[in-house]
Amino acid sequence: MPDMDVALKDAMQIDGAIGVALVDRSSGMALGIAGGTRDFDLQVAAAANTEVIRAKLRTMEMLSLHEHIEDVLVTLETQYHLLRPLTGRSGQGLFLYLALNKDRANLALARHQLKRIESSLDI
């Protein structure tokens, strides 16, 4: 089972990857980061996307939806942002955040690869 650093490096191998972070949903703090640019601050993005996950969880609770979120997709003009809550016991309260260049990414394949990385991640 790969540790966090290996998992983040694996995620950066996904076609079109701009950056990836493992984020604590309760604090919004990125526990690990790979990639990013000077103009794309993954610390800020991780904290802000924590609110997206929290909002979706609140909505599901209000609607009495008793399902797990597989991922949340935000589509921008030039990017995809994937938020994938971890489902394993050791990953409770954490999510993977992956930003992709829309022109270079295959969204279906990226979702599949992120799911594989999540399932093998050992926190």
Question: What is the reported pLDDT for 37?
Answer: 86
CA 26 to chain centre: 15
Are 70 and 91 contacting, i.e. CB atoms less than 8 angstroms apart?
Answer: no
Separation of alpha carbons 100 and 82, rounded Å: 8
Helix (H, G, I), strand (E, B) or coil at 108: helix
Domains of the chain: 4-120 (3.30.450.30)
Q: What is the pLDDT of residues 21-72, one digit of tens each?
A: 999 999 999 999 999 888 899 999 999 999 999 999 999 999 999 999 999 9
